[in-house]
A = this chain, B = another copy of it.
Amino acid sequence: MSIIQSKTVAHQVDEILLERIRDGSYAAGSRMPSESELSEELGVSRATVRTALAKLAATGLIIRKQGDGTYVNAHVREASVHTGNLWDLVQLIEGNGYNSSIRSLSIERRVATEREALALALEPGDELLSMHRLFLADGQPVILANNVIPFNLLRTPMESIDGELHIREIFHRYCHQKITFAITDIRSTVMDEQAKEFLGGAAGRAILQLQVSFYGKNNLPLALGMNFFDDSILRLSLVQAWN
């Protein structure tokens, strides 16, 4: 019996199962009740149980085996990162077991580089809003994030922007548009001067570079992200299961 109602039934089932895995009712490595049993116990259809289980399986937290059963994955902390939240840097940091905080470094207006103009389908000379932010894990800098937005999309004064919001929230609040999807390239790079200044560590060390393009409806590019990710502190791990 829960006080807070989740949006969907499947999501509620999800939370119940998550809770049971967390508190050890379903021990790591052990087999969970079958879909039919859960369906009956929780009073929902088997299909609903399945959508909840599918969500957990996608994160790698449980492993499903046809003809056998559903097992709690002993090697994946709930922490583990999966594709779904690769863009939510806060969630990524907290998934690694840290407390996250954001420090806004600068919010400025400048002319787009050739490359940025191309990626955002702008004219040469058009202006951008450029934000630099530092994400901290337990107070330690781990991600240097740079985001740019075409200046003419802004609907409110630049000074009013809250530098601690997620890009999608910023876009929704200050540009009155929705970002519907994003494409991220994962690359490896040697830390440059700027990154070194904020992330620290030895010169010439390698860090991950997450290069993101954000798109809105009509498939138009709305914003760019360039994140430098210190993989010596944060893990970026993915889980894959087979039948």
Contact = CB atoms under 8 A, between A and B. Distances in A.
Nearest to A241: B181
Interface stretch (A13-21, A100-108, A203-211): A203-211
B181 A206 contact: no
A8 B205 CA distance: 48
Interface string A221-241: 000000000010001111111
Copies of this chain assembled into the complex? 2
A75 B219 CA distance: 7
Contact of A186 (B73, B75, B179, B231): B231
A82 interface: yes
Given A60-B181, A183-B239, A189 B188 contact: yes
B190 A206 contact: yes
Given A180-B63, A181-B63, A186 B238 contact: yes
Interface residues of A, number: 49
A132 interface: no
Given A187-B208, A204-B190, A219-B73, A179 B239 contact: no
20 contacts: A60-B183, A63-B180, A71-B219, A73-B181, A74-B219, A75-B183, A75-B213, A86-B238, A86-B240, A178-B242, A180-B242, A181-B239, A183-B239, A183-B240, A187-B236, A188-B188, A188-B189, A188-B206, A188-B208, A188-B209
Given A73-B181, A86-B240, A183-B239, 18 more contacts: A29-B219, A75-B215, A82-B83, A83-B238, A84-B240, A86-B238, A87-B240, A178-B242, A180-B242, A181-B241, A181-B242, A184-B237, A185-B237, A186-B186, A188-B189, A188-B207, A189-B206, A190-B206
Interface of A: 29, 60, 63, 65, 71, 73-76, 80, 82-84, 86-87, 168, 178-190, 204-209, 213, 215, 217-219, 231, 235-242
